[in-house]
Amino acid sequence: MTRRQLITHLTKRIIEIEKDSPVLIGIDGVDASGKTSLADELQQALKNSGREINRASIDGFHNSKKVRYAQGDDSPEGYYQDSFNYELVKSRLLDPLSLGNLEYTTQSFDHQADRDFYAHSKGSKKHYTHHGWYFFAPPRADRLLGLINFLGH
């Protein structure tokens, strides 16, 4: 299967999902694995099909440097456990969207300035892509062929 065929196939599968709340699409993978490129391609293909798309990244939910580096600047455990505020991703972005609440937070922290920064959105029923290290998704995530890392909470 070529990359173009994959994007076409995934777009078709995503469009087939019918829900009263936004369809959440999660893309998971290690650093430099192509998450952003895949999200870019899916976003464009879904827009081309007439779908309205919103997008967020785990990068908008970093912890402060104090939390991120508490286990040391070069700590693999610290990177894995402390880089992101997963509870805020879940409570301010994914939970509201999963329940059909269209008022949600797309960013809670500016990691470059190392300060809180809240970006809020209010919109219509949309497809929503999210790429990052982890993704919490609704129970029907299995319909996306394993692209979603369904951790369920």
- Domain CATH code at residue 103: 3.40.50.300
Residue 2 is predicted with a pLDDT of 92
Domain interval for residue 53: 3-144
Residue 153 lies in a domain: no
Q: Where does the pLDDT of residue 125 fall: very low under 50, low under 70, confident under 90, or very high at 90 and above? A: low
Beta-carbon contacts of residue 98 (< 8 Å; ≥ 6 apart): 21, 24, 137, 138
Residue 149 lies in a domain: no
Give 26's strand partners.
130
Which tops the pLDDT comparison, 124 or 53?
A: 53
Residue 90 · residue 104 · CB < 8 Å: no
Residue 65 is predicted with a pLDDT of 95
Question: What is the model's pTM?
Answer: 0.71
When divided into structural domains, the chain yields a total of: 1
Which tops the pLDDT comparison, 101 or 116?
A: 116
Residue 61 · residue 89 · CB < 8 Å: yes
Residue 150 lies in a domain: no
Residue 146 is predicted with a pLDDT of 36
Residue 125 lies in a domain: yes
Residue 81 lies in a domain: yes
Q: What value does the mean pLDDT of the chain take? A: 78
Whether 107 shows a pLDDT value over 60: the answer reads yes
Residue 90 · residue 77 · CB < 8 Å: no
Whether 23 shows a pLDDT value over 80: the answer reads yes
C-alpha distances in Å from residue 18, one per residue of 24, 40, 127, 143, 144: 11, 22, 10, 11, 13
Residue 151 lies in a domain: no
Residue 44 lies in a domain: yes
Residue 39 lies in a domain: yes
